[in-house]
Chain A
Amino acid sequence: MILDLLAAILIASGAFFFVAGTVGLLRFPDLYCRLHALTKADGLGLALIAMGLSLLAGSAAEILRIILIWFFVALASATCSHLIAAHARRVDRERTDD
């Protein structure tokens, strides 16, 4: 029961961070701010939801798979943010050089 409650709190706060990420995507003024909002929000959101679901999971194998999924999403998301930020900066520089 307490485990369920804890899981519910974790999952709900995870969903909250996803909503916060979307608000950031819509409201922040430029790409770099949005990048900042998104990477924090969706990384944390997914981590919280994954943690909550691990508490509900039936077997150790399931928990391990959830952790692996979270790990690769976090890895890909960090890499993608880096790629997009570096690319955007290159584009901006070329624009100011012209």
Chain B
Amino acid sequence: MTIFLGVIIFILLASILAGLARVLRAHRPEDRMLAAQLFGTASVAILLVLSRMMDMRALLDVAMVFALLAAITLAAYVVLAGRRLL
């Protein structure tokens, strides 16, 4: 099971890294923020799996912090860019 979960987190991390191409070559800034948002969700998934694999419940707290604060940066972007300011 541990090996299987190891493969899973590798795939999740690889999918984040593949998505980086979109951040580097975006048509518009919204694309970049959107990609960062997806990476946040993938990181939460990785943390959930890691908490199982490493047997550390504290990682669930890290995942919870990610989950709660995920929207802050994006909201800041929308507010600042909303008046054509960014």
Contact = CB atoms under 8 A, between A and B. Distances in A.
Contacts of A14: 45
Given A19-B15, A25-B22, A68-B64, A34 B34 contact: yes
A80 B78 CA distance: 9
A53 B63 CA distance: 14
Contacts of A45: 41-42, 45
- Label chain B's interface by main secondary structure: helix
A69 B12 contact: no
B41 A42 contact: yes
A97 interface: no
Interface of B: 1, 4-5, 8, 11-12, 15-16, 18-19, 21-22, 27-28, 30-31, 33-35, 37-38, 41-42, 44-45, 48-49, 52, 57, 60, 63-64, 66-68, 70-71, 74-75, 78, 81-82, 84
Interface of A: 4, 8, 11-12, 14-15, 18-19, 21-22, 25-26, 30-31, 34-35, 38, 42-43, 45-46, 49-50, 53, 56-57, 62, 65-66, 68-69, 72-73, 76-77, 79-81, 83-84, 86-88, 90-91, 94
